[in-house]
Structure 1
């Protein structure tokens, strides 16, 4: 006993020693905890970099700008510290100090601030040398007064083309640049991308980002006013300089570059559409496009070219968002490729556009089929030592799964599952003569069809054309569980539902609607369970028998914000018995309820940490 007490005291003393040592190291300055290796002897070298930013922005804005500016030190002036042993730092091969590198760093930082709209920043550098042994350490500090951020005074479009000018004015509300918006090159770049996206959705197939540019006008209109009085002119110049310093504003105009290629101003239309649904992954696109070794089926303005006939035309047409005669829409073109690739019947989708005549485009889609069928077998084992009846059980089960990605040649997904298992009593040799070896037996089978479209009675429902990944889900499942001496449970489940998704730039909206959901249960209670009911009456609530005829709707939204935040929102509602409960003969056999639930999750990421939280609420009646 005495020996154990001594060991405990020694461990406690060592723990206290290490704690004091860590606190002592943490209290030391970073300079004392930094070791320099492979430094130039006899020459001043860079030991520290620091940026001090002064401005009128918020604390978070100044912190972000300071962090970004620290990334613009010239490579020959940057100090790279490596963290070692939790609290220590090491600088290896520090660069030799050269004032030119500091000037170059200031130029880089000024260019970055210009890109953010700060054109009137002032810079001041401070160099401090310190000798430590044979080391000549240099700490460089750059103090920046960022000045006023330039704002946009007016926005205009001069595109020298009637149709392009009209489109720009019609879509002006979607611009992120407004009167008073802070100027930044990133904002201008986003506006040019937006304009190109608009035009390429309206047939301007050959128009590129290089064909548009933003012109900035910094001229003060008051200076254009003619005056013969030199004192008046000097007064105007001084007033203009004061305004630029206190509230700098610029005028912005989006213009089109002059070009000799008239096709850049041509609005192209969709001509013919060709599908190659049996493309091999080793095929060369240019070769199969001109090959005549295909069977060709014409379906209106589209052509299906194949050699075996593994796919029907219908699923291809249903997931193509372009048709002959309409203006070429680049967004619909890429949406077609993405949607065809997400069905599951094809593992890869490529495409090609070939010009025909002066204003027409032929579209070619090359689809590489995925493996049509696959079969998996899983074997699982488990051990349960807390069973109320047997006490020591060993379970073994197997799961068979079969998947077909192209049912009836229509890209329909089909999944079949079969599962069976038993639980064996391992306590038979411990005077348990009344118990059997097999304690539980279960078997289940299920089948699910996923149709790559919304099957509904309404034709030409325009709302469906705006959503992605449309699916109709049909599923069946049957199960049987036999718990020896306790109960026998039989269940049959079936549902019909719709799932669709709308993909946006930074968020996804997913809907799942099940208008029909049927769950039928049958329970036989055996003497062992009746005995448990007598001992614990509340246990009977877990074995209520009843059927469910329900409808449910769920909505899920995921948001990936630009500020490293992600949001997850889920809303769900389910009701059962609203219709079938009206029949008196079924009221005692079905559950009748309505429930509503909501969930919210958010995570915020920083460079070295992350914070996440979750909230959930539900209500039922």
Structure 2
């Protein structure tokens, strides 16, 4: 058996070595050509060499963009195959004339990026391989120095526009000594138009402003009749342009032919059409006199069936009659109304009335009011108590009403019931076949806007997508012969967005639990005392706040960042009530997560860092010193520490979960602290139409610990800096990703590079004594690898 394992490893290592050797070969040696013109030069390769004073990221960006400016007949239709090889199919016939056109395209692009002194040199080589005449085209580019911005001025003919421009000049994209590019100029012109349209100038567009760029040096305007002095000035200017080129930029206003373009517009009447059909023509609706009409001040709702009330419409409208027209509030209103599930389409049309008034017409197409779904799920559980072959069958029913009480309130009712069957039980008795029965009923209401219990809060108009959430859920689980659990949970909270930031605050969260321990569970706890903490009975009265921020890189748009912070506090006030002591948990839990991904032409590098800690400060001897297990952290599975099975890592370097448990049946590990870091390099293997096959190389590092020592547990379960390196687990692996556009199936294989519970070699794997399984001191065989099946990317 040991010989077979070693032979498997030798085969695996040989295959891995062969792949490394292949990858170390040049890309050209791993490329083959199909459907090429025989005995005729064709484009086999193109390459750009870029020189200049760039940052690393700037050079990557320029090189990536320049590849798009080869003439079409010089582009190479190269496809990656199986991650190592490349295929060129139907290459173009080579024509040297196209090199000059490519140089023109590339030079124009560099000019747009502010490189006006670039020198482009091209050449090509021809290699003959059998009947293939392969042509490689090379473009060598010396970009020169990037033009920088010197002085920035605003020269508007209208005094009010000039005052606005100067007042907001600190927000300009044009900064002295910063690199010049046409994109920066375009961004600044867009900012100026947005500034004016935010301040009532509804008719101003990009056609009304332009950028005047002055590349001349003021020394040239100095009056001199001395030809030698003039020649000296010209020489100095030419030298300065080459060594430190900079330009002056003036943002100017074009001459206005239509004076109404400079009118400041105000909001007039608001007309809502909340029952618009998708086939209706807005112009016809505006003149239709058959509508019924409700009026509230200067706001009108025109309808025929009366399906909606005024409140949700006014709640998410950020302007009113008399306000100066503000384009930001216009789009904010359209987005807020579009987020309401009661409507599937929102169209807001401004119409000019009189000299400077904008009436706003809202055409809103309702979504299907009610929907009902039924799902059937099946799963297999191999980590439950006392049995190892459970088949779970669950039915989920969901009812969704998107317009409760005509106020665009969304109501979601759910019902879930299921059983777990011991399909390989040696007994045919019914009580042995049926292992678990569960039932759960829930109801959630999503209210538009923020429901305020007291006086109106300030600043609500500055936030977006405002929602109030209330939910209640009840559940019952009967684990035959072991326990019965009843729970009732309810929460009330607020959800909103502000820019790239999302917030969720729950001031009230109540979770009530009741556990009936049956004879089989009592016997199991007697044999395994450390399991007692997992079945402590207590309830939760808490509040929580979560914050999520997602951004794209300002310098590199292919870099995405995600940050999350969540805080939950339980029992802070209610824990002082004598009647509740010993019945509710008192703890503080904090978790933070950071994710980043950088996309390249054919690959992606992603990493994730996670840290979580929960501290039970109640000191209650009845409930115990740890968090309730359903609030604790766990590691392992398809999305966390993939070399370990679900919830099978930890705690620390303690092997108590494996040595003390009867028949090794209950091995789920939960802790009060978790640290984890994941890194993954993703790349594409093959593409078949819209179906993509990819792969990844990854590493996972982390573990789970307790902060306090629970009863009947050893000290190795606690976090300690002295044992931090010993406790850290490391897994490495690879996998396949099958991307079908609308969803992704992931198959990952991972090996335990370092296992804290491995007694030999300080937990590290050994090449010399490689094995697929580790034999623990008590004789239990634990796999050193895991095969994970997941849906979607792990992070």
Residues 153, 249 of structure 1: 8 Å contact kept: yes
Match of 2:598 in 1: 604
Task: Please name the residue that 1:39 is paired with.
Answer: 37
Aligned residues: 609
Greater CA drift, 420-429 or 369-378: 420-429
Describe the shift of the 1:372–1:610 C-alpha distance in structure 2 as closer, same or farther (beyond 3 A). Answer: same
Assess if the C-alpha contact under 8 Å between 2:43 and 2:91 holds in 1. no
- What corresponds to 2:480 in structure 1? 484
Distance 2:348 2:482 in 1: 61
Q: How far, CA to CA, are the matches of 1:514 and 1:21 in structure 2? A: 52
Contact map agreement 2:512 2:538 (CA 8 A) in 1: yes
Match of residue 245, structure 1, among 220, 242, 245: 242
Instruction: Give 2:471's aligned residue.
Output: 475
2:498 is the alignment partner of 1:540: no
Which shifted more, 139-148 or 15-24? Answer: 15-24
* Secondary structure, aligned partner of 1:305: strand
**CA 1:382–1:91 in structure 2 vs 1: closer, same or farther (change >3 Å)?**
closer
Q: Distance in 1 between matches of 2:509 and 2:568?
A: 10
Deviation of 1:215 after TM superposition, in Å, equals 0.2
Change (3 A) 1:187 1:591: same
Question: Aligned runs of 1:25-36 on 2, under 5 Å?
Answer: 27=25, 30=28, 35=33
SS in 2 for 1:30: helix
Residues 1:87 and 2:81 are matched in the alignment? no
Query: How many angstroms apart in 2 are the aligned matches of 1:34 and 1:570?
Result: 46
In structure 2, distance between residues paired with 1:18 and 1:517? 52
Question: Residues 139-185 of structure 1, C-alpha deviation per residue, up to 9 Å, x if partnerless?
Answer: 44332221111111100000101111111111111112111111100
Contact 2:42–2:91 at 8 Å: present in 1 too? no
Matches within 5 A, 1:443-482: 443-482=439-478
Residues 1:284 and 2:281 aligned together: yes
The CA deviation at 1:328 is 1.0
Does the 8 A contact of 1:557 with 1:570 survive in 2? yes
Where does residue 578 of structure 1 map in the other structure?
A: 572
Deviation of the 1:518 alpha carbon = 1.2
Mean Cα deviation higher: 455-464 or 217-226 = 455-464
- Aligned with 1:613: secondary structure? strand
Greater Cα shift, 568-577 or 102-111: 102-111
Alignment check: 8 A CA contact 1:152 1:251 kept: yes
- CA 1:580–1:27: 2 relative to 1, 3 Å: closer
Alpha-carbon separation, structure 2, partners of 1:392 and 1:50: 58
Q: Match for residue 73 of structure 1?
A: 70
> 1:37 offset after TM fit, Å?
4.9
How far apart are 1:63 and its partner, in Å?
3.8
TM-aligned CA deviation for residue 525 of structure 1? 2.1
- The 2-side partners of 1:392 and 1:129 are apart by 65
Match for residue 511 of structure 1?
A: 503
Aligned residues of 1:491 and 1:522 also touching (Cα < 8 A): yes
Going from structure 1 to structure 2, the CA distance change for 1:294 and 1:243 (only over 3 Å counts) comes to same
Could you tell which deviates more after superposition, 229-238 or 89-98? 89-98
Pairing 1:356–2:353 present: yes
CA drift of 1:432 comes to 6.2
The answer to whether the 8 A contact 1:40-1:96 is kept is: no
Give the secondary-structure state (helix, strand or coil) at the position aligned to 2:72: coil
Contact 1:390–1:427 (CA<8 Å) still a contact in 2? Answer: no
Aligned residue for 2:28, secondary structure, equals: coil
Look up the match of 2:545. Answer: 553
**SS across alignment from 1:57:** coil
- The unaligned stretches of length 5 or more in structure 1 are none
**Which among 310, 315, 319 is matched to residue 316 of structure 2?**
319
TM-score, normalised to structure 2, is 0.71
Contact 1:354 1:361 in 2 (8 A): yes
1:237 to partner: Cα distance: 1.2
* 2:119 and 2:144 in contact (8 A); partners too: yes
Larger radius of gyration: 1
Structure 1's 517 and 260: CA in aligned 2 closer, same or farther, altered over 3 A? same
* 1:365 pairs with 2:357: no
Counterpart Cα distance in 2 of 1:173 and 1:243: 28
Query: Partner of 1:228 in structure 2?
Result: 225
Q: In the TM superposition, what whole-angstrom CA distance separates every residue of 1:543-583 from its partner, at most 9, and x where no partner exists? A: 11112111111111122225212222111111111111222
Check conservation: 1:97, 1:138, Cα contact below 8 A. Answer: no
The corresponding residue for 2:95 is: 97
Residues 75 and 374 of structure 1: CA distance in aligned 2, closer, same or farther (over 3 Å): closer
CA distance in 2, matches of 1:510, 1:393: 40
C-alpha distance in structure 1 between counterparts of 2:477 and 2:538, whole Å: 17
Distance (Å, rounded) in 1 between the aligned partners of 2:435 and 2:36: 72
Q: Deviations over 1:313-363 (max 9, x none)?
A: 011001001111111111211111111110111111112221101111111
Unaligned runs of 5+ in 2: 616-795
CA distance in 2, matches of 1:17, 1:387: 38
Report the Cα distance in structure 1 between the residues aligned to 2:145 and 2:174, rounded to whole angstroms: 18
Hey, what does 2:701 align to over in structure 1? none
| Displacement after TM superposition at 1:421 (Å) | 2.9
Counterparts of 1:297 and 1:198, CA distance in 2: 35
1: CA distance between counterparts of 2:31 and 2:512? 70
Structure-to-structure mapping, 1:199-214, within 5 angstroms: 199-214=196-211
Q: Which residue of 2 aligns with 1:618?
A: 612
CA–CA distance in 1 between the matches of 2:200 and 2:186?
22
Q: For 1:472, what is the secondary structure of its paired residue?
A: strand
**Cα deviation code 1:391-420 (max 9, x no counterpart):** 655544332221111111111111112223
Correspondence 1:194 to 2:197: no
State the superposition RMSD in angstroms: 3.1
Is 1:272 the counterpart of 2:269? The answer is yes
Change (3 A) 1:84 1:359: same
Give yes or no for contact 1:26–1:87 (8 Å, CA) kept in 2. Answer: no
Distance 2:276 2:376 in 1: 37
Q: Is contact 2:193-2:205 (8 Å) kept?
A: yes
Q: 1:535 to 1:431 in 2, by over 3 A?
A: farther
1:343·1:411 contact (CA, 8 Å) conserved in 2? yes
3-state secondary structure, aligned to 1:598: strand
**Distance in 1 separating the partners of 2:31 and 2:389:** 58
Query: Larger deviation: 213-222 or 599-608?
Result: 599-608
So what's the TM-score if we normalise by structure 1?
A: 0.90
Q: Is 1:258 the equivalent of 2:255? A: yes
SS at match of 1:181: coil
Q: 1:312 to 1:23 in 2, by over 3 A?
A: same
1:526 equivalent among 518, 542, 553: 518
> For the structure 1 residues 510 and 25, does the alpha-carbon distance in structure 2 shift closer, same or farther, using more than 3 Å as the test?
closer
Task: Tell me the alpha carbon deviations over residues 510-541 of structure 1, each in whole angstroms, 9 at most, x when there is no partner.
Answer: 11111111112222222222222222222211
Contact 2:76 2:88 in 1 (8 A): no
Q: Structure 1 residues 93 and 404 mapped into 2: Cα distance closer, same or farther (>3 Å)? A: closer
Aligned mates of 1:459, 1:17 — CA distance in 2: 70
